[in-house]
């Protein structure tokens, strides 16, 4: 399952779930904007960042989703955070939250970073320890659905769908969460088609709602706009790459060319070779 994209979508559409996970008030969502952040001139990307909106008293929250064992994870995480702080120099203090499916995935090799954990600046959340899905708030129960095995996922999804229809009064939020549950089920049940899953869980009527139809049209238009934007960005990038050899011939170093064109050193070196 592409867990990164699932959690990115979850926190983007329902940021209050993140604050519920860390035991903070969901009202914090009005002060934050959630996005994925790429660190310039490196291969680093932070899964997600909750950035305070015009409020220097609120913490920045770096969010990482780690579902595979990785001995270099913590060294990479702190390198990403320190690079972000160096490049952006935010006035806000910061915290980091790491989401693990279970403790067995956590390498726990923190000898170089122990102070961050002891001070609670960095927190690890193990999804399998959150408790029984039926007793959890609906947002956190949706998070737990990601790690449920197939049989448990079917039972939990059925309960979640019923709870979503009963507990969420906002039609927009209700439909967004139902679509997210459907997406998780598609990954959980790879041998079933989307239509079969919709029929099995009573989601087939989702497409008939006015909200779904409007959202579908908005999604198509947004996709076209993003496609055009990506095309422009790729064209600009290709133009920069074509300028690499010209600047190198003028006597600039690889590092100078990278800085001038806003490219990584690796991109400059690859363009020079080509």
Using CA atoms, how far apart are residues 274 and 186, in angstroms rounded to an integer? 41
Q: Which pLDDT tens digit goes with each residue over 175-194?
A: 889 989 998 998 888 888 88
* Per-domain boundaries in the chain: 3-214, 215-273
Residue 1 has pLDDT above 60, yes or no: no
**Measured CA angle at 168 (ends 163, 172), to 5 deg:** 125
Q: Which pLDDT tens digit goes with each residue over 146-155?
A: 999 999 999 9
CATH of domain 215-273: 1.10.10
Q: What is the strand order of the sheet 60-65 is part of?
A: 32-38, 45-52, 60-65, 94-100, 122-126
Pick from 128, 155, 164, 158: nearest CA to 143: 128
**Measured CA angle at 66 (ends 191, 17), to 5 deg:** 85
Q: Which pLDDT tens digit goes with each residue over 13-67?
A: 999 999 999 999 999 999 999 988 876 655 577 889 999 988 888 999 999 999 9
Mean pLDDT of the chain: 84
């Amino acid at each position: 399952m592409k867990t990164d994209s699932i959690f990115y979508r979850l926190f983007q559409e329902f940021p209050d779930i993140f604050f519920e996970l860390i035991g903070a008030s969901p009202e914090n969502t009005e002060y934050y904007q959630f996005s994925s952040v790429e660190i310039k001139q490196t291969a680093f990307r932070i899964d997600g960042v909750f950035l305070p909106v015009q409020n220097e008293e609120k913490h920045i929250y770096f969010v990482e989703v780690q579902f595979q064992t990785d001995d270099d994870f913590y060294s990479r995480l702190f390198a990403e955070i320190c690079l972000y702080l160096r490049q952006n120099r935010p006035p806000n203090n910061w915290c980091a939250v790491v989401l693990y499916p279970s403790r067995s995935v956590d390498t726990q090799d923190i000898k170089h970073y122990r102070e961050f954990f002891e001070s609670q600046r960095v927190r690890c959340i193990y999804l399998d320890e959150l408790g029984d899905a039926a007793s959890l708030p609906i947002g956190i129960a949706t998070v737990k659905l990601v790690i449920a095995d197939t049989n448990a996922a079917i039972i939990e999804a059925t309960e979640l769908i019923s709870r979503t229809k009963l507990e969420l009064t906002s039609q927009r939020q209700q439909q967004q969460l139902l679509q997210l549950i459907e997406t998780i089920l598609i990954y959980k049940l790879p041998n079933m088609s989307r239509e079969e899953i919709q029929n099995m869980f009573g989601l087939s009527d989702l497409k008939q709602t006015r909200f779904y139809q409007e959202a579908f049209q908005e999604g198509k238009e947004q996709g076209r706009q993003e496609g055009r934007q990506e095309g422009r960005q790729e064209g600009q990038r290709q133009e920069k790459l074509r300028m690499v050899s010209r600047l190198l011939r003028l006597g600039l170093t690889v590092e100078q060319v990278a800085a001038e064109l806003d490219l990584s050193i690796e991109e400059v070196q690859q363009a020079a070779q080509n």
